[in-house]
Amino acid sequence: MNTRGGVFAETVLRVSIDAPIHNQNIRDVEVSMAIKFGTDGWRALIGEEYTFENVRICAQGTAADLKEQGVAAKGVRVGYDTRFRSGDVAAAAAEVFAANGIPCFLTDRAAPTPVVSYNLVTHSAGGGVVITASHNPGNYNGYKYKPA
């Protein structure tokens, strides 16, 4: 799966997961809706398309990309904003990276996207993820992937 092309999944995303996720061993996950990355990530309505499970699927795709690019050992920086449950969602994404053996550094409080991006560069991380929907309405949240 290649997240660099702008589209993370077209219609149905199938992900093979060897790591335990949310206390379950999941081998194949099928998503019935499209998870499409736009200019700077994926955004959706909280509780509809934007769910913990879909964020975990995005994180698994990101983990696979970090491994494919050969930068997984450099780790990933994960941050979040003050939207509803963003910290919990960021922790769920971090669990996926850890389950894949990728060093993960999660902010200890809400932080603006530029702070996470700055950390990504200054610590030579393999990539970064920010849980935010930026300028979108409050009933949205999002997943931004920042490649190194």
* Separation of alpha carbons 88 and 41, rounded Å: 19
- Say whether pLDDT at 6 is over 50: no
55 phi and psi, to 5 degrees? -65, -40
Q: Which of 16, 86, 124, 134 is catalytic?
A: 134
For the question of residue 86 being annotated catalytic, the response is no
Instruction: Supply the pLDDT for residue 30.
Output: 52
Is the distance from CB of 142 to CB of 43 less than 8 angstroms? yes
- Determine if residue 120 is left, alpha or beta; phi over 0 gives left, psi from -120 to 50 gives alpha, anything else beta: alpha
* Separation of alpha carbons 30 and 105, rounded Å: 28
Q: Which CATH class is domain 13-147?
A: alpha beta
- Say whether pLDDT at 55 is over 90: yes
Domain ranges for the chain, please list them: 13-147
- Say whether pLDDT at 128 is over 50: yes
In the chain, the amino acid numbered 33 is M
Q: Write out pLDDT tens, residues 8-35.
A: 233 233 444 444 455 555 445 554 567 8
Instruction: Supply the pLDDT for residue 29.
Output: 52
